[in-house]
Amino acid sequence: MASFDLVTPTTEEAAIAELRTGAPGEVAVLAGGTDLMFDLDGAKAAPRRVVSLRRLPWRTADWNGPVLTVGSTLSLRSLERDPEIAKKHPGFFQAIRAVGSVQLRHRATLGGNLGRAAPASDLIPILLALDAEVDLVGPSGSRSLPVDRFVLGARRTALASGELIRSVRFPEPRASTYLWQRVRPANDISQIAVASAYSPSDGRWRLAVGGIPPRALRLPEAEAILRSADPPDAEIRDAADRAARHLVIATDRRASEEYRRHLVGTLLDRAVRSTVAASKGGR
Amino acid sequence: MSSPALALTVNGRPRPLENVPASERLLDTVRWRLGLKGTKEGCRSGDCGACTVLVDGVSTLSCLTLTHEVGGSTISTIEGMADDPIGRAVQEAFERAGALQCGYCTPGFVVALVGLLRERGRAAPVEELLADLGGNLCRCTGYLSIARAVSLLQKEAP
Amino acid sequence: MIAHPRPDARPKLEGSAAFALDLDVPGMLWAALVPSPVAHGHLRSVDLSPARALPGVVAISAADLGSLLPGKSGDPDRPVFPSETVVYRNQPVAAVAAPTRELARQAARAVRVEVEPLPVVSDLEQVFPDWPGPKAEGSTHVAAHVRAREGDIEAVFRSAETVVAETYRTSSIHQVALEPHACLAEVTGDVWRVQTCTQTPFGTREDIASLLGVPEASVVVDGTWVGGGFGGKGAALLEPYALLLSKASGHPVKLALGYREEFLLGRTTLPSVIRMETAVTGGRIVGRRVRLLLDVGTSLPGRDFATGYSIGFLLGPYSTPAFEVEGYAVRTNKPPFGPHRAPFAPQCAFVLESHLDHVAREAGLDPLAFRAAHLWKEGDTTPMGQRVGPFGLPSAFEKARATAARWRTQLDPDSGIGVAVGFWSTGTGAGGEVRLRLSPTGLTVVQGEREIGSGSVLAGVAAVAARYTGLPRDRVTVAYEDTSRAPFDSGVFGSRTTATLGRAVDEAVRSLFDDLGKRLQGSGLVHLRVESGEIVAEQGSARRPLRELCNEKERADGAIIASGRHYGKSGTLDEKKVEAGTFYPYTDFTGAAHAAQVKVDRSTGTVRVTRYAAFHDVGAVIDPATAPAQVEGGVVMGLGTALTEEAMWSEDGRLLNAGLLDYRIPTIGEVPPIEVTLIEGFLGAGAFGSKGLGEPPMIPVPAAVALAVRDATGAHVTELPLSSERVARALKLL
């Protein structure tokens, strides 16, 4: 591959400035690098400058009351090994465990995964179900967006020119579940994944599906059917059916449209039941 | 395109390097500049684990790591595993359990396991260790002898 | 733990065992291959000049072969570089070498290849949407045609009580050795020398000589450690390109495949469609018809071994009074079919076992009893007319059946158990030779194979030599020499290595002991002992330290030498039954019976294997450490074929999932506990009556899993692999 300059700014301001030194495509951002290396090898990216984020003070995970703020360059493995996160956001923990392998998670980051917005990202569905928000910094200052408005499509985000993801915020701990269907249980990409979470503060469910291009989606119609923290069987089945029926799904070499549709219904049903059970058995 | 000098410590020895291109992978630096061929090149796409090294004690896919990203770090490869008791214990357990055949995945497994033991503690339960080895592929052994090596290792953990 | 640590364990555990990709010599250039951009086309031009313009780059294509190999003709059917037509995607049309690996890749990309596309033949259905008609064997699409018959199958089918007909499909799978192909070539004067990861140094030498058109004696193949072969490293692949680039550049040249290229250029098992028809009357099979369409990619006509060989695994190990089998090897625009571990036998066993199980159910018979009633036993005659030798399969089958019955008493919901069998033949007649060096301190077996991982060379041959000589294991080593110095051996494949080299060791030890006896002049049998670290030879009351028995030359050389060889024989078939093509008799009859327990997620079709037992007819156990390891490894590899491995091809001849993310082999978390039982006593073709064990463990696996899935859910899947989607469809979930 063509060579490039690698710069490693130590402040946010310096990092933002570096991003503006070239035209789009000429400058690439390096977090954990697990996706960027792939693009470089496949000649899908040929940047002249790569901006490494490793020296920025973003490898943090802080609680402020119920709010968890995760720095975008903290490794997924560090998040995975945090017992408090596993306890308070069990679905998030399950999703992180689904990403690649331990070695990969030692370098992969939440910011990198979110910024890439791969249709089969294992983290975006649970971020949607947890109402996570992205904190961005750029030349015009800081702004925040719900993840649902940050991820626009397959590999497309609302990141403006010169902007970086600084952190991701989770408003409150929620009983939550992340389930996936794959060819093999480890080190794989999901054919379908679902995330469910129940919000204690507004008493409503959040359901999301991932693995269907172009992007993970919330399922408001299905959510509206579930009226309580412990919905009856019929409601759960109805919500799962409704979601499965109305999704737009295509066939690809990983799975056919009919199979994906069937999986959505099956996994959503299970995820909701699992969240209910966990919240009963939990705290 | 100038590249700053790199200060790496590799298997306990300082190995300063100059003129390493920014695009160079740690895997290639270790194998070709430092002559440490024990770390294997498998898939080069992060899927097989054969290239696993420890960076500051943490298991890392060297095929997906830019060398300049780990400047100033301590790198441990398979050649350095015998330098400490955990590494030696892993190697001995693998030998006694016959946990290798062609040997191509073996350095990756040994280093990954040492990394896990450092991370989780020497007395980590066998099931947890095995559950964390999904990133290392083996095509010869069928993994059971590797699982036996891990059991043997933990049975004899101090 | 294991009794004898493998002699290669320490170097591999310490990272000092050098593989081909690790080799580095001064002045070495890196090479890269230039791939054809389409699967079929007229090659209009290959313009090397943009590559040659890069500093230090050497580039060659068909146009250069005349000057690199003056007066040589090579193999006209297998040109090193095509000059007129490309026949599979990524077929190398040129090769480059450069001072760095990166520059070589850049140079390869710079070469301008112009191809005028031709229609691509992408799969079997495209060539033969229905079963081939009578004129098909003359078609250019057919690389081989085999047919055999016994009796009047039409009449048998007409009068039978029940006839069951089914169609099965199997997928393309890859060997996926962790080590990609790599070699280092250096041509000096007339000597074409290459270090390479090969399962068959002599076979590779022969291949190289044939492809380049040079005498075998001028080619030296020096094998390196092999990081897994599984059939994929059994023939020359990269070596001719590296050698030619070395000749062209005057430098040593290293050529290694990237892992994507491993998939794209791999020669392996390709898809098949198999039609099975079985007639049953009064609980007995009265007739069978088998039709095999096997995709062989761009295999050349007359060079297909798979069809006539594999069709045997669709017939046996079951008896039938009447049959008709027919197979077509069909050419498509894919790389040529190549051997995988137990080539195509696991797929055949899956089809045969699943079919007979289904036939029994349709005929209202107990499936296990039905199969047991037709299993070959010693003394039977195979459908192709060969007498069945000592065969442990009935014994293995009964043990598997008993295990399944035991498991059934503790079965979880949504779980099921399948029992399946397979058979193999130890190293179909290929031969080998060894040289023994008995020194005052130990015995060295000098031979021409590298250890590819199974232990068959370093452990197996050592164990045989120790047993025949009576020396302790730690006094026996196995040494490797390259093709210029080693005694000939056919290669590490076909589960033949320990068996055949073991027989060669047997003959060499006899010769050695004869020789020692003549020197000792005692009476009775010769024995070797170790006393105070030195070898002593005895015969009756005559005892001398070995050093005293050596003549002057032997003292200088340090050893007494003896040689032995073994060229196995296969049995014979009844050629009257053969109507077309070549069928293959067996050297022995090696049985395997497995029991698999699975749990099926009835809502998603996901299959998890929760328990496994493998019963293997091994004749005699040679090395108790590496033998069960072969079974474990083979079973897990078979689980991949059963559940997750599938290479997907597009209509334009492109491999869609070339890479370890999208082509999935089993990981550590998917492995069930596996009980291994080795059954001795039914003697085979190898040393001490042993039978080959490298491949049999794979054979019954997909069948056992499929039958377990059926037992658990009633779902009858007729395609491999049993992906969760296929199981979901068979469960009528979609």
Average pLDDT value for residue range C71-85:
91
Residues A22 and A116 in one domain: no
CB pair distance less than 8 Å for A188 and C664: yes
Beta bridge partners of C58: C97
Residue A139 DSSP code: T
Residues A28 and A81 in one domain: no
* Total of domains in chain A: 2
pTM of the complete model beyond 0.95: yes
Residues A236 and A101 in one domain: yes
Q: Which residue has the tokens 């733990």?
A: C1
B63, B101, C335, C258: CA torsion to nearest 10: 10
Residues A122 and A34 in one domain: no
pLDDT of residue C429: 55
User: How far apart (Å, rounded) are the C-alpha atoms in residues A46 and A23?
Assistant: 12
CB A189 within 8 A of CB A34: no
CB pair distance less than 8 Å for A259 and C734: yes
What is the radius of gyration, based on Cα positions, of chain B? 16
Q: What are the helix (H) ranges across C38-114?
A: 49-52, 65-68, 101-110
CB C47 within 8 A of CB C35: no
User: How far apart (Å, rounded) are the C-alpha atoms in residues C664 and C263?
Assistant: 12
Average pLDDT value for residue range A180-195:
94
Q: How confident is the model at residue A20 (pLDDT cuts 50, 70, 90)?
A: confident
How far from C452 is each of C37, C226, C230, C486, C515, CA to CA, in Å?
33, 5, 9, 17, 33
Distance from CA of C32 to the nearest CA of A (A): 14
pLDDT digits (tens, 9 = 90+) for A125-156: 999 999 999 999 999 999 999 999 999 999 99
CB A119 within 8 A of CB A107: no
Q: Which residue has the tokens 């059971």?
A: B144
**Residue C412, pLDDT above cutoff 80:** yes
Check which CATH number belongs to the domain holding A280 and give it.
Answer: 3.30.465.10
pLDDT digits (tens, 9 = 90+) for C346-389: 999 999 999 999 999 999 999 999 999 999 999 999 999 999 99
pLDDT of residue A283: 45
Please indicate if any CB of chain B lies within 8 Å of the CB of A2: yes
Q: What are the helix (H) ranges across C162-220?
A: 201-212
Residues A28 and A110 in one domain: no
Residues A153 and A280 in one domain: yes
CB pair distance less than 8 Å for C633 and B141: yes
Q: Which residues of A touch B128 (CB under 8 A)?
A: none
Average pLDDT value for residue range C1-12:
89
Interface test with A, best of B6, B20, B23, B105 (most A CBs within 10 A): B23
Long-range contact pairs involving C578-581 (C-beta distance under 8 Å, separation at least 24)? C578/C146, C578/C147, C578/C148, C578/C384, C579/C147, C579/C148, C579/C149, C580/C137, C580/C145, C580/C146, C580/C147, C581/C144, C581/C145, C581/C146, C581/C147, C581/C307, C581/C308, C581/C327
Q: Is the peptide bond before A214 cis (omega within 30 degrees of 0)?
A: yes
| Structural domain containing residue A161 | 58-283
Beta bridge partners of C434: C564
Average pLDDT value for residue range C27-50:
98
CB pair distance less than 8 Å for C667 and A183: no
Residues A31 and A170 in one domain: no
**Residue C311, pLDDT above cutoff 70:** yes
Beta bridge partners of C323: C150, C288
**Residue A45, pLDDT above cutoff 90:** no
Which range (A193-202, A238-247, C420-429, C610-619) has the least confidence?
C420-429
CB pair distance less than 8 Å for B44 and C258: yes
Nearest CA in chain B to C174: B139
Q: Which residues contact C76 (CB under 8 A, 6 or more apart)?
A: none
pLDDT digits (tens, 9 = 90+) for B62-120: 999 999 999 999 999 999 999 999 999 999 999 999 999 999 999 999 999 999 999 99
CB pair distance less than 8 Å for B79 and C665: no
Q: Which residues of B touch C230 (CB under 8 A)?
A: 139
User: How far apart (Å, rounded) are the C-alpha atoms in residues A28 and C212?
Assistant: 47
Q: Which residues of A touch C662 (CB under 8 A)?
A: 253-254
Outline which parts of chain B fall under CATH 3.10.20.30.
6-78
Q: How confident is the model at residue A3 (pLDDT cuts 50, 70, 90)?
A: confident
Residues A92 and A170 in one domain: yes
3-state SS, residue B84: coil
pLDDT digits (tens, 9 = 90+) for A4-13: 999 999 999 9
Residues A115 and A187 in one domain: yes
Average pLDDT value for residue range A111-127:
97
Residues A149 and A223 in one domain: yes
CB C388 within 8 A of CB C366: no
CB pair distance less than 8 Å for B98 and C671: no
Backbone angles phi, psi at A64, to 5 degrees: -130, 95
Taking the CB of residue C133, how many other CB atoms lie within 10 A of it? 9
- What tokens does A277 get? 């059970």
Average pLDDT value for residue range A214-243:
96
CB pair distance less than 8 Å for C664 and A1: no
From C513, C449, C475, select the one nearest C223 (Cα to Cα): C449
What single-letter amino acid sits at C373?
A
**Residue C205, pLDDT above cutoff 60:** yes
Window A:48-107, CB contacts with C under 8 Å: none
Distance from CA of C557 to the nearest CA of A (A): 52
**Count of A-B CB contacts under 8 Å:** 86
CB C240 within 8 A of CB C80: yes
Please indicate if any CB of chain C lies within 8 Å of the CB of A258: yes
From C633, C638, C636, C622, select the one nearest C678 (Cα to Cα): C622
3-state SS, residue A109: strand
Residue C557 DSSP code: H
Residues A156 and A24 in one domain: no
How far from C44 is each of A78, C114, C284, CA to CA, in Å?
56, 5, 60
| Segments of B18-133 assigned E as strands | 52-55, 58-61, 74-76
**What's CA B9's distance to the chain center, in Å?**
15
CB C465 within 8 A of CB C503: no
Fold of B80-155: DNA polymerase; domain 1 (1.10.150)
Nearest CA in chain A to B134: A186
The per-residue pLDDT of chain C, averaged, comes to 96
Fold of B6-78: Ubiquitin-like (UB roll) (3.10.20)
Nearest CA in chain C to B111: C13
Provide DSSP, C233-297. Answer: TSS-SSHHHHHHHHHHHSS-EEEE--HHHHHHH---B--EEEEEEEEEETTEEEEEEEEEEEE-T
pLDDT of residue A24: 78
| Segments of chain B assigned E as strands | 6-10, 13-17, 52-55, 58-61, 74-76
**Residue B3, pLDDT above cutoff 80:** no
User: How far apart (Å, rounded) are the C-alpha atoms in residues C21 and B42?
Assistant: 10
What single-letter amino acid sits at A14?
A
**Residue B1, pLDDT above cutoff 50:** no
pLDDT digits (tens, 9 = 90+) for C535-585: 999 999 999 999 999 999 999 999 999 999 999 888 899 999 999 999 999
CB pair distance less than 8 Å for B142 and C667: no
User: How far apart (Å, rounded) are the C-alpha atoms in residues B45 and B30?
Assistant: 17
Window B:66-125, CB contacts with C under 8 Å: 77-79, 81-82, 91, 94-98, 100-107, 110
Q: Which residues of B touch A103 (CB under 8 A)?
A: 46, 49, 52, 59-61, 112, 115, 135
**Residue C724, pLDDT above cutoff 90:** yes
- Domains defined along chain C, listed by start: 9-119+181-256 (3.90.1170.50), 272-427+574-730 (3.30.365.10), 431-567 (3.30.365.10)
Quote the Cα angle for C307-C312-C316, to 5°. 155
Backbone angles phi, psi at A144, to 5 degrees: -130, 150
**Residue C166, pLDDT above cutoff 90:** yes
From C196, C246, C243, C190, select the one nearest C221 (Cα to Cα): C196
3-state SS, residue C480: strand
CB C607 within 8 A of CB C722: yes
What single-letter amino acid sits at C558?
G
User: How far apart (Å, rounded) are the C-alpha atoms in residues C543 and A259?
Assistant: 77
pLDDT of residue B2: 52
Residues A19 and A70 in one domain: no
Q: Which residues of C touch B138 (CB under 8 A)?
A: 178, 668
pLDDT above 90 covers what percent of chain C? Answer: 92
CB pair distance less than 8 Å for B143 and C225: no
pLDDT digits (tens, 9 = 90+) for C451-473: 999 999 999 999 999 999 999 99
Strand order in the sheet with B74-76: B13-17, B6-10, B74-76, B52-55, B58-61
Please indicate if any CB of chain A lies within 8 Å of the CB of B37: no
Give the one of C656, C670, C733 whose C-beta lies nearest to A262's C-beta: C733
Q: Which residue has the tokens 């068979």?
A: C730
Taking the CB of residue C73, how many other CB atoms lie within 10 A of it? 8
How far from C438 is each of A267, C480, C525, C557, CA to CA, in Å?
67, 16, 18, 11
From A269, A216, A213, select the one nearest A241 (Cα to Cα): A269
C contact chains, 3+ CB pairs < 8 A: A, B
Please indicate if any CB of chain A lies within 8 Å of the CB of C556: no
User: How far apart (Å, rounded) are the C-alpha atoms in residues C257 and C337?
Assistant: 19
